[in-house]
């Protein structure tokens, strides 16, 4: 009698557990994807203070140019006899005469740029494994005719080809379950699927060559649709 009761209890508990597991799986299967904006892919959203903000627009541009020149001088790319080297000295003197604390501001500017570079490499790990929906521009990586198998999702037109690539946390490697017929390069689309916060390398082919592009996220797409607000 005790054995029968124990067996009945075991069967009952197993049935309850199976019911719970199946119900949870059904809820997850019907779970609506979370709509993301591109800034959601950046984990640290605290604004950085621009140390050049108090300068005039022209002075800010000149400080930016001077910072780039100083970098080239540090790397040994500009010799003391180069015209750009002389230009950096003249630019420094002019800014100093205008009352700009050149050396202090350049140091602060460099610190901000280093922080920007560090943040550009950060991934939002809280999104890992979540079902998401995000808009963007599709940059094909592998095509057969007009059919696209895999592509990069980027936040703006011309990324990686006409202008430098975005930071890695602003690029998503999209893997499709079946090929998608694209209408144009950089077609605006909505992508839904499971997002993974992990780096990946992609080989992007141009007319005159190719390059390796690193993205910070991989999205296993379950749905792709033309973009519409």
Alpha helices in the chain (DSSP H): 2-29, 57-74, 83-97, 102-120
State mean pLDDT over 148-158: 88
pLDDT in tens, 178-205: 888 887 888 999 999 999 999 988 877 6
Phi-psi region of 19 (alpha: psi -120 to 50; beta: other; left: phi over 0): alpha
Q: Where are the domains of the chain?
A: 57-120, 125-226
Q: What pLDDT score does 15 carry? A: 44
Q: In this predicted structure, what is the pLDDT of residue 3?
A: 39
51-62 average pLDDT score: 96
pLDDT value, residue 207: 53
Instruction: Please provide the distance, in angstroms rounded to a whole number, between the alpha carbons at the two ends of the chain.
Output: 66
Superfamily of domain 125-226: Protein of unknown function (DUF3299) (2.40.50.870)
pTM (predicted TM-score): 0.71
Alpha carbon 194 to its chain's center: 16
């Amino acid at each position: 009698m005790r054995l029968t009761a124990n067996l009945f209890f075991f069967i009952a508990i197993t049935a309850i557990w199976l019911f719970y597991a199946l119900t949870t799986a059904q809820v997850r299967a019907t779970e609506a994807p979370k709509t993301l904006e591109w800034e959601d892919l950046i984990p640290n959203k605290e604004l950085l203070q621009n140390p050049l903000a108090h300068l005039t627009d022209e002075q800010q541009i000149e400080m930016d140019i001077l910072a780039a020149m100083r970098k080239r001088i540090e790397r040994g790319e500009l010799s003391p006899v180069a015209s750009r080297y002389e230009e950096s000295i003249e630019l420094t003197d002019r800014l100093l005469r205008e009352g700009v604390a050149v050396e202090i501001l350049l140091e602060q500017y460099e610190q901000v740029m280093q922080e920007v570079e560090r943040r550009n490499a950060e991934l939002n790990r809280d999104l890992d494994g979540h079902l998401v929906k995000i808009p963007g521009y599709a940059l094909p990586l592998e095509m057969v005719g007009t059919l696209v198998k895999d592509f990069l999702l980027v936040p703006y037109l011309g990324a990686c080809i006409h202008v430098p690539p975005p930071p890695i946390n602003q690029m998503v490697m999209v893997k499709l379950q079946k090929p998608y017929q694209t209408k144009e390069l950089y077609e605006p689309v909505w992508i839904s699927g499971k997002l993974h916060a992990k780096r990946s390398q992609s080989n992007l082919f141009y007319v005159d060559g190719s390059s390796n592009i690193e993205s910070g996220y991989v999205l296993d797409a379950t749905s792709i649709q033309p973009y519409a607000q």
